[in-house]
Amino acid sequence: MSSIFQSRGFLGKRRQDAPADRVPPGQYVTPDFPVLSAGPTPRTPLDRWSFEINGLVSQPTSWSWADFQRLPSRYFMVDIHCVTKWSKLDTHWEGVSIDTLLEAVQVDPQARYVMAFCDGGYTTNIPLDEVTGGKAFVAYQYDGASLPPEHGGPARLVVPQLYFWKSAKWVRGLTLIEKDKPGFWESLGYNNHGDPWKEERYHGD
């Protein structure tokens, strides 16, 4: 992505706060946690909340909020990168690894992708091998407290190695599928894959 163009008189004053190996191209580090979403914040009472895995699995499974809390959880410290250019380093989460959830349902061998579905109708597609192997989790705590609704609470998917729109807020489940198909933003001009290190922001990147 090198460019011969130069912006007259631009030196760049924020570069000092960006360790190069932690910040993907075109991103800047922010101490804030900006909120982005396409519509109002859904609010599902916990007694009506469930997390479901269906599609190409032997044992489609649904966990209630109480069941979900009893699953083995762990702490994750990850860097997150939003397509709107901000990155936030060393964010602290607690949640359940996708590996733990997939063990319970027994994934069919032909499954290649997951489609996350959410309260409010949001969807996003991710290759199965990018949510397994300890690479993704469903978080219900952020910085030692319950995940606030505007950040996706009660629970959100976190897939740190992809742009943050893949980390679906208000997630309610995953559908395992064989053939890839675009989710919400992937249908609206954003990249189907979304790797921040390859700067896969938009269609065609």
Distance CA 154, CA 151 (A): 9
Across the chain, which distance is largest between two alpha carbons, in Å? 61
Nearest to another protein of 14, 179 (CB atom): 14
How far does Cα 160 stand from its chain's mean position? 6
Please state the closest distance from residue 79 (CB atom) to another protein, in A. 18
| DSSP secondary structure code for residue 8 in this structure | T
Please report whether residue 202 would count as binding another protein according to CB under 8 A: yes
Q: Which two tokens stand for residue 133?
A: 């192997």
**Which of 89-97, 100-108, 116-124, 130-138 is the region at the interface with another protein (rule: CB under 8 A)?**
116-124
Least CB distance to another protein at residue 124 (A): 11
Q: Of 165, 184, 78, 64, nearest to 121 (Cα)?
A: 184
Beta bridge partners of 114: 126, 176
The least CB distance from residue 18 to another protein, in Å, is 9
Span from 13-21, 45-53, 55-63, 108-116 in contact with another protein (CB under 8 A)? 13-21
Interaction of residue 179 with another protein, rule CB under 8 A:
no
Which structure tokens are listed for 187? 């249908």
User: What is the contact surface with another protein in residues (CB under 8 A)?
Assistant: 2-3, 5-15, 25-26, 28, 30, 32-42, 84-85, 120-123, 150-151, 182, 184-185, 187-189, 201-205
